Amino acid sequence: MSAPALVTRREIELSEPHPSLAIYSTLSKRKEPFRTVEPGKVGIYLCGPTVYDKAHIGHMVGPVIFDCIKRYLKYCGYQVTWVVNITDVDDKLIHKAGERGISMLQVAEENIADYMGNLAALGVDQVDHFPRATECMGDIVAIIESLIDRGYAYASEGDVYFDVTKDPQYGKLSNRTLDAIQGDGGGTAERKRSAADFALWKSAKPGEPSWDSPWGKGRPGWHIECSAMSKKLLGETFDIHGGGLDLVFPHHENEIAQSECCHGKPFAIYWAHNGLLRRDASAGKIGGRAERERSPSPPHKAGDGIASAHKAGDGIAGPDGIAGPDEQVSGKMSRSKGAGGLAALIAHQGGQRIRFFLLRTHYRSTVLFSEEAIEEAAVGLETFYRLFKRYHRITRGDFYHLSAPAHRSEDTAAAASGHAALAAAAVCKQKFLAAMDDDFNTGAAIGELFELAKIANRFCDEHNLEGGGADNATMGDLTMLMATIKELSNILGLFLKPPALPGGHVANEALLGKVMQLVIDLRAEARKAKNFATADAIRDGLASAGVKLEDRAGGTEWSGGDAATLERVVQLLINLRQTARQNKDYAASDAIRHRLGEIGVKLEDRGGETEWVR
């Protein structure tokens, strides 16, 4: 009966190793040269979320690093297929649906929308497939049947369990022995042959969502969907399987058992697990047990109040999933909130900062996460934005549209023949690639990006590019330096496009209000000093910016303006200051700069013109 089962796994032959790339695998517990199942092709499967609630920042770690991994593998010439599964059927979803009085599918749809919005904001756009468990029932049932046929699984009162004692390799990923595994001692324990057996199929209780199967109505166990989906989209053996470190056991251990017992050959070649995020040095992972138990009010989480307030009229999945304006307004609140505030966090930090923050640390490390930490990291990011502006000032070229090599090549020729700066940049590129080759060390790679920024800035300084030294050949060299930065930052998915303004429109309007108040004050002071030329210049300047002033008894009111007003009003102030400087009235010019500074606008004099940044 179970005679044909329990076959030993057949080894499979892999491609020649990549000459330099090595990946750490949880399975072998060491870095291994990278070989693929099929030459030139890579299949990646990343465990995505169970969509019973809004995503938290911890859910983004895997997608961000794997987005880089895919970009890098493509850069190295591989054809990559990346799958991220969505678990849209599970006990928690059922409970949540019951709580809220909507269907499980509705719960899933809402949270999937939220998840997708978060991914997009962080620049994760390399995923090829997002299979959902509910869309793969046929594949799931087929694998379970096959496991029963082969003697690895057994049906029991409508449930189906995997018999871990039949798999001699069970425990190899998480390095544990059968007697070290307690299993869940819950209500289904008596249906199992041994405590460590896990469910492949769970019979439905009345009223629960269910699917037909040879064992009656029910739903899949947590692990089996991944075996089914990866087989469907990537084949029985594929290259890289990823997920959070907390999934090693039991989830991934069980996936291996299911798939390898079913197919008789290796499941995934490399297991890449990302480290977990923590809030404090002694806090436990975000979204983890400790955090949940600490929270004093169990029924409602951070986002719920906001969400429900808006839900009243608008039926199905509201705007919550994509950082609606309500969440921006309440951004301050979310600072102290935990899981659930991701959309709000993105709304006022911007996805690029978060991505950069996550990439500064090696993906297997634990990261202490806080909004303050993101803000600190973001200071460094400004170096690049300033450099891009500088590049534009000098060449009128747009960094974001620079063309850069999409594939890896050792351009030693350019290094040897070029100037010192180009040679130095080539060394940085080599180090950058060496870092990525070494288990995707994005932290070290980013260090080289900073080094490149310094080289480019120094090049501009040394050749006096902003003071008239910009001949075509020199600008061409500068463009080559910038293109190297472009080429490498593309791999990390950074600087793909200009960063969204932190805070978006809300912050813009707040700033415009402050700037307008300053302008009105300055005009009032000018009038008081009978400096009518200045006062009128202000009013005329505002008029051409679309703003009307009306002097009232209680003060001056303003109206009008559009999206471009902020820029034009600040420009007006810059012009006023410029006039004062030309008249050597430094007291007046410095006062303008100082008062702008107080409301968060910094002025920077460059070459002939003045720039402002918030």
Partner RNA sequence: GGCGCCGUAGCCAAGUGGCUAAGGCAUCGGAUUGCAAAUCCGACAUCGUGGGUUCGACUCCCACCGGCGCCUCCA
Q: Taking CB under 7 A as the criterion, which residues in 257-276 touch RNA?
A: 274, 276
- Do the strands 218-220 and 30-33 form a parallel or antiparallel pair, or are they unpaired? unpaired
- Give whichever of 65 and 306 is closer to RNA, judged by the CB atom: 65
Contact flag: residue 135 with RNA (CB under 7 A): no
- Single out the residue of 501, 550, 502 nearest to residue 523, CA to CA: 550
Least separation in angstroms between CB 403 and RNA: 24
- For the record, the structure tokens of 20 come out as 């330099």
Helix (H, G, I), strand (E, B) or coil at 162: strand
Least separation in angstroms between CB 250 and RNA: 5
Residues 201, 187 contacting (CB under 8 angstroms)? no
Number of Cα atoms under 13 Å in the Cβ half of residue 464: 3
Sole binder of RNA in the list 43, 287, 338, 493 (CB under 7 A): 287
Q: d(Cα 519, Cα 225) in Å, to the nearest integer? A: 62
Sole binder of RNA in the list 256, 277, 516, 522 (CB under 7 A): 277
Tokens 């809300």 identify what position? 506
Residues 468, 393 contacting (CB under 8 angstroms)? no
Contact flag: residue 444 with RNA (CB under 7 A): yes
Instruction: Describe the strand order of the beta sheet including 159-162 as a list of residue ranges.
Output: 153-156, 159-162, 198-203, 218-220
Sole binder of RNA in the list 20, 210, 441, 571 (CB under 7 A): 441
The backbone region for 530, taken as left when phi is positive above 0, alpha when psi lies in -120 to 50, beta otherwise, is: left
Q: d(Cα 179, Cα 175) in Å, to the nearest integer? A: 12
Would you give the binding string for RNA spanning residues 214-253, x where CB under 7 A is met? --------x--------------------xxxxxxxxx--
Sole binder of RNA in the list 435, 519, 526, 572 (CB under 7 A): 435
Q: Which stretch binds RNA (CB under 7 A): 4-12, 65-73, 414-422, 584-592?
A: 584-592
- Give whichever of 254 and 328 is closer to RNA, judged by the CB atom: 254
Would you give the binding string for RNA spanning residues 165-184, x where CB under 7 A is met? ---------xxxx--xxxxx
- Give whichever of 243 and 493 is closer to RNA, judged by the CB atom: 243
Sole binder of RNA in the list 94, 164, 453, 572 (CB under 7 A): 453
- For the record, the structure tokens of 159 come out as 């449930």
Alpha carbon separation from 145 to 137, 138, 161, 169, 553 (Å, rounded) = 12, 11, 11, 21, 84
Residues 131, 86 contacting (CB under 8 angstroms)? yes
Element (H, E) at 25: strand 22-25
- Give whichever of 35 and 360 is closer to RNA, judged by the CB atom: 360
| Binders in 90-109 for RNA, by CB under 7 A | 90, 92
Sole binder of RNA in the list 192, 231, 353, 593 (CB under 7 A): 593
Contact flag: residue 423 with RNA (CB under 7 A): no
Least separation in angstroms between CB 23 and RNA: 13
The single-letter code of the amino acid at 606 is: R
- Give whichever of 12 and 373 is closer to RNA, judged by the CB atom: 373
The backbone region for 431, taken as left when phi is positive above 0, alpha when psi lies in -120 to 50, beta otherwise, is: alpha
- Give whichever of 397 and 443 is closer to RNA, judged by the CB atom: 443
Sole binder of RNA in the list 150, 285, 301, 348 (CB under 7 A): 285
Q: d(Cα 30, Cα 9) in Å, to the nearest integer? A: 21
Least separation in angstroms between CB 245 and RNA: 5
Sole binder of RNA in the list 451, 483, 517, 595 (CB under 7 A): 451
Contact flag: residue 49 with RNA (CB under 7 A): yes
Contact flag: residue 573 with RNA (CB under 7 A): no
Sole binder of RNA in the list 36, 118, 126, 589 (CB under 7 A): 589
| Binders in 515-554 for RNA, by CB under 7 A | none
- Give whichever of 430 and 457 is closer to RNA, judged by the CB atom: 457
- Give whichever of 119 and 542 is closer to RNA, judged by the CB atom: 119
- Give whichever of 374 and 549 is closer to RNA, judged by the CB atom: 374
* Environment class of 11 (CB within 10 Å of its CB; exposed 0-12, middle 13-18, buried 19+): exposed
Contact flag: residue 281 with RNA (CB under 7 A): yes
- Give whichever of 2 and 366 is closer to RNA, judged by the CB atom: 366
| Torsion sign (Cα): 528, 533, 534, 539 | positive
Q: d(Cα 94, Cα 100) in Å, to the nearest integer? A: 10
Tokens 């692990």 identify what position? 223
Would you give the binding string for RNA spanning residues 458-487, x where CB under 7 A is met? x-xx--------------------------
- Give whichever of 5 and 173 is closer to RNA, judged by the CB atom: 173
Least separation in angstroms between CB 606 and RNA: 6
Overall size of the chain counted in residues: 614
| Binders in 9-48 for RNA, by CB under 7 A | 29, 47-48
Q: d(Cα 536, Cα 543) in Å, to the nearest integer? A: 10
Helix (H, G, I), strand (E, B) or coil at 172: coil
Would you give the binding string for RNA spanning residues 344-373, x where CB under 7 A is met? ----------------xxx--xxxx----x
Q: Residue 12: what are its φ and ψ, rounded to 5°?
A: -125, 155
| Binders in 376-395 for RNA, by CB under 7 A | 376-377, 379-380, 382-383, 386, 390
Q: d(Cα 523, Cα 445) in Å, to the nearest integer? A: 51
Tokens 């559009």 identify what position? 562
Contact flag: residue 122 with RNA (CB under 7 A): no
Q: d(Cα 333, Cα 506) in Å, to the nearest integer? A: 16
- Give whichever of 277 and 526 is closer to RNA, judged by the CB atom: 277
